[in-house]
Structure 1
Amino acid sequence: MKNRQSFQQGIRRGIVAWVFLLSVICSVCWAEEANLSVKIPVVTGEWPPVTSETLDDLGFYTVLVSAIFNEMRVVPEYKFYPWKRCELLVQKGDVFAAFPYANKPERAKLYLFSDGLLYDYPVKLFFYKKQKSDFVYERLEDLRAYKVAGIAGYGYLEDFKAANIPYLYADTEETALRMLVAGRVDLVAVNTIVALEFIERLFPNEQALFGVLDKPAEPLLKLGLIVSKTYPNAETLLAQFNAAFHRIVENGTYAQFLKKYGIEALSVFDKPVE
């Protein structure tokens, strides 16, 4: 009789344990599905091939950001705006974050920062050979002798201001390059891969007429997200984002992404190549 009671009690305990395990599994599945319904507004601008609304995958940097949010089990809602508007939306707390931006001390009072996700391509000074091609550029202050275009969103604008280097403001790379060809400026400080993309698109028959100075206009920087200080639960979301980034590094997703786009040199875990 005792053996039968023990057997029945064992069966009941097993059933209870199984029901509990099933409830845990269901709750986890429900939580994951619920999280996937959470949408986070994020903004960026036109910076092909890094990020662009005109590209099928929205640019390789956007692909990486999406992979991190996917690891968080939330859905990013992307909107493309001029860079100045992106920054204002983050400052007001209308969106969680904007990308890609460098973590610079001058921005710390306005934003939180994610970990750096990729190194930037070198920012160099482009010139148009029909206008001028003899330049002396050994240090930043040498640029005072030339008319330089400074582009919205670039970190070097703060460096130019600190060094008292006057510049003509351009809202986009396209505007800056058109100013260069028109002779309104002598030099344009621009991301190299982005400049080549725009030159090929805008001036397909004049690509050989563009030159570039060897010395970068600014040091290579890591690019990440600028995050709103006033967006709801921003600090918690930022911590989750950074943790998700390091998980995709550990599970190999990051390395696969770098290889797919041929940008292994931009890995934040290797010394950058200028």
Structure 2
Amino acid sequence: MPRIHSLGWLSLMLLTGTLYASSNSVRLTSGEWPPYTSEHLPYDGIMSYIVTEVFSKQGIRVEYGYFPWKRSFRLAQYGEWDGSLGWTKNQQREKDFYFSEPLLNGHDVFFYLKDMPDKVFTWKDYSDLKGLKIGATLGYIYGPGFDKADLDGEINVLRFPSDADLIRNLYLGRLDLAVMDACVGHDLIELSYPTHSSLFGHTRKVVRNSSFRMILTRKKPENAGLMEKFNQGLASLRDDPVAFKMLSSVYARPCYSEYLSEGTNSG
């Protein structure tokens, strides 16, 4: 369901005594991807907070629509919505979208179900994953290594509508591995299986390090100027105390900080 957010919006209206026209609003698709985006989190998650705050300081209100991620992408791609957030950049997507500077960084890993409490799954290259059922999310890319192994048939990849579906099917034994952002996986496990979270593990080796960005459709020419304006505002957000506190709370979490140490490899 679409939700409208703009921090400080009410005070701004009281000061100006006017309502902004549609040209002073932006409609972005999103999805359930805690801790980054979720309609059940304060400020709709840390990534949504960053976007909302940058636009708010420029007098622009944000409307978020929550959909399955593949649909979120298509709605933005075809110009039915202005854009979306939480996407990584590649040449194919740049044909359809303007990309913001990075909002947050993340780390994709493999989650697995332990058959023993101290079980640790390790892998060196994609040949080690032959014969395993690997869950991935529709519409996502996981870097050239994973995508090539998938395309070449070196690994067996099954696609699902959401990361939550991956966790559920992993828990039910229908998957051997599930690839997703480390912090997203941990949050979904704690949300869905709080009393069984110790049954899940994840790899130390990273599938992909990535930068998450906001995208705006090229179907609307005015979005080029809007993105330039957004990136200028994003650069100044580092001085925002609420953003700093929220970012610090994310970066301090083990699911994030353990991948920042030197020597962590990606596939």
- Return the offset for 1:78: 1.1
Aligned to 1:19: none
SS at match of 1:46: coil
Shift of 1:265: 6.5
The residue identity in structure 2 corresponding to 1:128 is L
1:259 and 1:131 mapped to 2: Cα distance? 37
Query: What residue number does 2:190 align with?
Result: 200
Match of residue 12 from structure 1: none
Helix, strand or coil for the counterpart of 2:156?
Answer: coil
Match of 2:11 in 1: none
The answer as to 2:245 corresponding to 1:259 is yes
Q: What's 1:273 paired with?
A: 260
CA RMSD across the alignment: 2.8
Matched, 1:228 2:217: yes
- Code of the aligned partner of 2:227: L
Secondary structure of the residue aligned to 1:184 is coil
CA distance in 1 between partners of 2:251 and 2:168 (Å): 32
* Residue-by-residue CA offset, 1:110-166 (whole Å, 9 max, x unaligned): 32211112112x211111113995745102343233110012343217643322333
Q: CA deviation at 1:47?
A: 0.5
Contact 1:32–1:73 (CA<8 Å) still a contact in 2?
A: no
Q: In 2, distance between residues paired with 1:243 and 1:81?
A: 28
* Cα distance in 2 between the residues matched to 1:236 and 1:66: 17
Distance across 1 between alignment mates of 2:191 and 2:99: 33
Query: Highest Rg: 1 or 2?
Result: 1
Deviation, structure 1 residue 182: 1.7
1:240–1:117 Cα change, 3 Å: same
Amino acid at match of 1:126: F
5+ residue gaps in structure 1?
A: 1-28, 267-271
1:48 maps to: 34
Distance 1:34 1:195 in 2: 39
Q: Give the Å deviation of 1:35.
A: 7.0
- Note if 1:188 corresponds to 2:178: yes
Unaligned ranges ≥5, structure 2: 1-14, 254-258, 262-267
1:124 corresponds to: 109
Q: Distance in 1 between matches of 2:191 and 2:158?
A: 23
Contact preservation (8 Å) 1:104, 1:155: no
Partner of 2:135: 149
What is the CA–CA distance in structure 2 between the aligned matches of 1:90 and 1:215, rounded to whole Å? 33
Give how far 1:248 is off. 2.4
Structure 1 residues 112 and 207: CA distance shift in structure 2, 3 A: same
Q: 1:1-274, aligned counterparts within 5 Å?
A: 34=20, 38-120=24-106, 122-130=107-115, 135-156=121-142, 159-163=145-149, 164=152, 165-218=155-208, 220-249=209-238, 252-253=239-240, 256-261=242-247, 262-264=249-251, 273=260
- State the number of aligned residues: 236
Distance 2:74 2:200 in 1: 34
C-alpha contact 1:125 1:212 (8 A) present in aligned 2: yes
Instruction: Give yes or no for contact 2:120–2:201 (8 Å, CA) kept in 1.
Output: no
In structure 2, the residue corresponding to 1:99 is in which secondary structure? strand
